[in-house]
């Protein structure tokens, strides 16, 4: 399976903002949900400009093991993201993928003669 759709969406996360594995999975309708996004982030290739550090767990928590967790804290800190203990305030720093611009088709009413 190609993780390119995940990586393209992660590249859209603005500097200084974060989103969750679950939000990305929901937007992409990935089978396996948040866990699948976690696999994609674990396989993230270096040198392609993918800001993997902007993807966190539900509730604003870093879900990576050390030493990656410390690196993620540092990278987010350089972007101005603040931690309240072990959590990030999602109301302040959270980002959600844009809603789909596709709208359902409306049924046209038949014209009366």
Report domain extents, the chain: 4-93
pTM for this entry: 0.81
Q: Flag whether pLDDT at 108 surpasses 80.
A: no
Please spell the DSSP secondary structure of 78-98, one letter per residue.
HTT--EETTEE-HHHHB--PP
Per-residue pLDDT tens digits for 49-66 = 999 999 999 999 998 889
pLDDT confidence band for 40 (50 / 70 / 90): very high
- Contact indicator for 19, 13 with CB cutoff of 8 Å: yes
CATH number of 4-93: 1.10.10.10
């Amino acid at each position: 399976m190609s993780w390119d759709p995940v990586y393209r969406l992660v590249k859209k996360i603005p500097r200084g903002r974060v989103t969750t594995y679950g939000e990305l999975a929901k937007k992409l309708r990935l089978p396996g949900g948040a866990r699948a996004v976690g696999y994609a982030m674990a396989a993230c290739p270096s040198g392609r400009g993918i800001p993997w550090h902007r993807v966190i767990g539900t509730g604003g928590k870093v879900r990576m093991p050390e030493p990656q967790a410390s690196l993620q804290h540092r990278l987010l800190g350089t972007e101005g993201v603040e931690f309240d203990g072990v959590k990030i305030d999602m109301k302040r720093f959270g980002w959600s993928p844009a809603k789909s611009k596709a709208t359902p088709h409306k049924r046209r009413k038949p014209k009366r003669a």
